[in-house]
Amino acid sequence: MGVKYSSKINKIRTFALSLIFIGFFVMYGGIFFRTSPIVMTIFMILGLLFIIASTVVYFWIGMLSTKTVQVVCPSCNKVTKMLGRVDICMYCNEPLTLDPTLEGKEFDEKYNRKTRNKKS
């Protein structure tokens, strides 16, 4: 499939990944409190919460990726996906904005047609 996500989603993915690392780090920290089972349990639960949080964030990414809009970047002419009204191109970091009046179902069709005409 090779599905690529927008820069915003990439940032959220990085955040979710860091949550997993924080979770494992906290759980690992619990080992140093082996002598007190209560503190160790708190660390383990805390670490587990971070990992659960990252799972939620990953699930959220899945929801968001269905809402991305495919557009052709006006700067590098590559097809990129954007999330929301404002995002940046994942190839050249060109800021992209959707005109609120063009936002909606017909938007990408119009845009693609326009770009195709430009190329031919």
Binding site for Zn ion (CB under 5 A): 73, 75-76, 89, 91-92, 94
CB 86, min distance to Zn ion, A:
14
- Given the complex with Zn ion, which of 26 and 73 has the nearer CB atom? 73
CB 83, min distance to Zn ion, A:
15
Four-point Cα dihedral 111, 117, 118, 119, nearest 10:
110
- Given the complex with Zn ion, which of 91 and 107 has the nearer CB atom? 91
25: Cβ–Cβ under 8 A, 6 or more apart, which residues? Answer: 47
Separation between Cα atoms, residue 30 and residue 68, nearest integer Å: 40
CB 93, min distance to Zn ion, A:
7
- Given the complex with Zn ion, which of 12 and 73 has the nearer CB atom? 73
Among all chains, which residue has been given the structure tokens 């097809």? Answer: 79
